[in-house]
Structure 1
Amino acid sequence: MSSRVQRRALIAITTAIALTFGTILVGAPANAAVGGTVSGRVLLEYGETLPTYSGEAMFFPLWGAGTPTSTPIDDGHYSVSGLEQGDYRVLFRSLDPTTPYADVWLGGFLHESDSTVLTVGASNVELDDVVIPQGGSISGTITSASSTDRGAAAAFLWDPATGEWERYSRWANADSSGNYLLNGLGDGTYLLRFAAQGDSVLLSTEYWDDEEYWSNSTPVVIESDADLTGYNASLAAGPIDLLRIAGANRYATGVSISYGQWDTADAVFIVSGTNFPDALSAGPAAAHIASPLLLTAPDSLSPVVAERLAELEPEYIFIIGGTPTISQTVENQLQGYASDQVVRIAGANRYETSRLIANIFFDGTGADTAYLATGVNFPDALSAGPAAANEHGPVILVPGANSSVGGETLELLDGLGVSKVVIAGGAPSVSGAIEAELRGTDFLDEVYRRAGANRFETSLLISQGSFPMTDGVFFATGLGFPDALAGAALAGHPAWRSPILLVRTNCVPAGVNEEIARLKPSDIYILGGEPTIGQGVVNGVPC
């Protein structure tokens, strides 16, 4: 992966922020008929029951918000009633971080993607015994700058099939001497992170081996339930860095964002800086092939963009949208900056353009996941861009008020191999009829909706649903689109994999600080200058 030393070079201003924390927002589950009771038994690896095991069975519906229903494992048994009928994945999870037993999914699998899907119907069901394997461990010493917070360690399991981290980590607080023990780690590859235990003391976040960013860290491999020792870390004092990326205008801001990752680039995406629909699907596509995205005026190429293209020396330049959006004059100007060719991707309308982008950039690799968003407005798609890139999928625009996404979109999803769809936004943006249509297809296993009461809550829910952790978070205005368009290519880049959270002009919406507490990033990046995002956001003023 690319080094991210460029981070410190792209800043217009640098300051620090202390954040307050609380409960994470969740969405409401979809309504459905109530199913029968589900029960079963949990055994240890060698067939013993679990009289002293403190754990829970978590039932994740494969639709709606995906919010789990949990039931305790008592004396090795569990039982739950009142689940809505439908398909679920089930996680058997320890509530005791000191236990030597690994968390497993139904079927005895360590990875969610491998797990057996449970179909809950009207009848009661007794599941087969679930065997909880004993795992390995990682231990070491954390040297903390704080005398009251000795730090904590967390291990995130990598799923090679999906290219993503599992949604839950194993964690352990260091004791008064700084010693920690991460237990119950099944065989696999882990990201090892060190951070503060709580909210009251501000400490740095570090990754093994003495790295500030996860993309530069060294993975830790557990094999044959091994017990690994000597994984030590040091946590310095200091708040999260809050950094602004801004230029004199939207075009210069897009250029400044590109300096965060790229010295040169094989390809560059060019999108309109004055019109959003064609550009909304371009961000995750650019991130997918690790390319920057720059903005242009409709009729002429900005000098600052031309200068940046000369520096990037791309082989290919992809123009997104037709000539009403980006003129032939601009295309002619771009010809001098691509060593191979300039390619225009444009359909008859915004929806066809979106489908073309998905087909061109994801057909070769396929996509297990796709995000759908309305093509009428921009906020939900802006938040969806980095999340889709994090899950290696496209954002596809749909006529959300309609009762169907249309045969072309269904054919595209099926052809890409998509099995999971995430609808970004509520029913006013993408209709309930579309959600029902998707759930009724024979090729989609999971259809979720991330929808809050407004665009800011929706942004939070999208982040919570896609990012188990990150070391960077991007703030973008929820009232405009240009800065976040270019930001999506950077935030979604494979070396960053960071969410974009929408904020108001001079305050931080409810839930944002709590999401920062969950993710524990090292840095927060503000996309755009003042007055787009003002000092109230810099100072962490709540809305």
Structure 2
Amino acid sequence: MTLDQKIPEVTFIKNIGSTPQEEVSTLQVYYKKSIANNCVGETCLTRTMPEVTNPDKVLLGWNTEADGTGEAFTKDTIVEGDMKVYAQWGEKPADPVIPANPTVPSKPEGKVEVIGGEDRTGTASLVSGKFFDKADNVVIARRDLFPDALTASVLAKALDAPILLTHTDHLDAETAKEIKRLGAKNAYIMGLNGAISKSVEEEISKKVAKVERIGGENRYETASLIGKKVVDLVGKKGKAVIATGENYADALSISSFAAKEGYPILLVKQNMVTPESEKALKELAINKVYVVGGDKAVSDQVVKALPELIQRIGGKDRYETSALIADTLFKDSTRAFLATGQDFADALVVGPVAASQNAPVLLTKADKLPEPIAKTIEKANYAKLYVLGLEKAVNKSVWEKLK
């Protein structure tokens, strides 16, 4: 883009109070740039996110949908056209009550453990640090968009590797540090240069002996290529998991099961088996499938066009689907991982870890535990529940009730 062309605009919507459609501000962001990297040559536009407050709520972040079911928008999100984003609000934590005669606090039971960094990259590195002493392999995914990384959990489990996150145009310092700590020899990059740039690949290649990039022209081809790699590594043929590629939640909820079993995850559109996935089904000799998601995610006509159906697991929304997966495929699990269902990154990076522990990935809203998830946790009575992310991902008011 040249400087005389129209610059995309991001409009920030208040999304609360008596005037929820009120605009907080509108920022210009250069095409295929982010607010954090909003420069063309030496010319830079605004590089800070707008501030908005409410006396009764706390700002959790921004989303492309008012109800929080779209994609998260951060300072690192790549902008490709005019768009609106909506503030997402949570409950303010209550002021602590100080007893008249303070006592020494009791030792936590340890049932609930929070793993959260200052941002998603930090959380990914902390997950890696907790569950991997060393690793020959690492899987590297883009931190701000889900399509290329959506099915990476199965690959990471097959490689016995953590998933680490990075910006498109530079390697994050925490990720670089974690690669070194792990002593990794091989790095697998998810997506083509548009997802993770060639310069980032070059940075990674200085830290490991071998870099392999797995990426197609779209998310469906990338998922198919990852699926082929998984089958090569695991050696299982015949079964696959089918999920929508038009959103991230269902694929991430099923990722632990698919990774545990070594089944590739192939993506479809709601009303179509894409050519890339159709080709993969034939090449991998898939004759039986699990389908995740209801009719709004994967239509009945698509299910009929697929190989023999083993089981379809789908609820009325992403949270009920997540709960049903845990209820039906992880009946004997003694632990679980809880991550926000309003963004993809935390659930993505914990998928291979959950698979290794025979644990489900449960999705929650930031400020409220959805009823189906609450019922699943109560019924399962997990001995250990890991919560992914700090306050903006999962509020303390949510997980404190689970202790």
Same fold (TM over 0.5): yes
Please, which of 294, 315, 336 is the counterpart of residue 164 of structure 2? Answer: 294
Please, which of 342, 360, 370 is the counterpart of residue 211 of structure 2? Answer: 342
Whether 1:490 and 2:353 are equivalent positions in the alignment is yes
SS for the counterpart of 1:270 is strand
Partner of 1:465: 328
State the distance in 2 between where 1:397 and 1:285 align: 15
SS for the counterpart of 2:171 is coil
Please, which of 492, 511, 526 is the counterpart of residue 372 of structure 2? Answer: 511
Partner of 1:13: none
For 2:135, give the aligned amino acid. A
Partner of 2:392: 531
For 1:249, give the aligned amino acid. D
Please, which of 137, 144, 147 is the counterpart of residue 267 of structure 1? Answer: 137
CA 508–469 in structure 1, closer or farther in 2 if over 3 Å, else same: same
Contact 2:220–2:274 under 8 Å retained in 1: no
Whether 1:332 and 2:171 are equivalent positions in the alignment is no
CA 520–368 in structure 1, closer or farther in 2 if over 3 Å, else same: farther
Partner of 1:434: 302
Partner of 2:232: 363
State the distance in 2 between where 1:460 and 1:421 align: 20
Q: Using the aligned pairs only, state the percent identity.
A: 33
Contact 1:366–1:417 under 8 Å retained in 2: no
Partner of 1:254: 124
Whether 1:282 and 2:143 are equivalent positions in the alignment is no
Partner of 1:377: 247
State the distance in 2 between where 1:256 and 1:401 align: 39
Partner of 1:454: 317
Bigger radius of gyration among the two: 1
Whether 1:499 and 2:360 are equivalent positions in the alignment is yes
Q: Superposition pairs for residues 68-467 of structure 1, below 5 Å?
A: 241-339=111-209, 341-364=210-233, 365-402=235-272, 405-406=273-274, 408-438=276-306, 441=307, 444=308, 446-467=309-330
Partner of 1:227: none
CA 266–477 in structure 1, closer or farther in 2 if over 3 Å, else same: same
CA 240–307 in structure 1, closer or farther in 2 if over 3 Å, else same: closer
Q: Which residues of structure 2 form unaligned runs of 5+?
A: 1-107
SS for the counterpart of 1:427 is coil
Higher fraction of helix:
2
Contact 2:271–2:301 under 8 Å retained in 1: no
- Deviation for aligned residue 1:409: 2.5
CA 320–511 in structure 1, closer or farther in 2 if over 3 Å, else same: same
RMSD: 2.0
For 1:355, give the aligned amino acid. S
Higher fraction of strand:
1
Contact 1:363–1:416 under 8 Å retained in 2: no
For 1:427, give the aligned amino acid. D
State the distance in 1 between where 2:242 and 2:303 align: 10
- Deviation for aligned residue 1:516: 2.5
Q: Superposition pairs for residues 5-24 of structure 1, below 5 Å?
A: none
State the distance in 2 between where 1:409 and 1:479 align: 26
Q: Which residues of structure 1 form unaligned runs of 5+?
A: 1-237
Contact 1:507–1:540 under 8 Å retained in 2: no
Contact 1:354–1:397 under 8 Å retained in 2: yes
- Deviation for aligned residue 1:260: 2.4
Contact 2:267–2:277 under 8 Å retained in 1: no
Deviation digits for residues 439-459 of structure 1, max 9, x if unmatched?
xx4xx3x34221111110010
Contact 2:220–2:276 under 8 Å retained in 1: no
Tell me how many residue pairs correspond in the alignment.
Answer: 295
Deviation digits for residues 59-86 of structure 1, max 9, x if unmatched?
xxxxxxxxxxxxxxxxxxxxxxxxxxxx
For 2:224, give the aligned amino acid. R
State the distance in 2 between where 1:286 and 1:447 align: 25
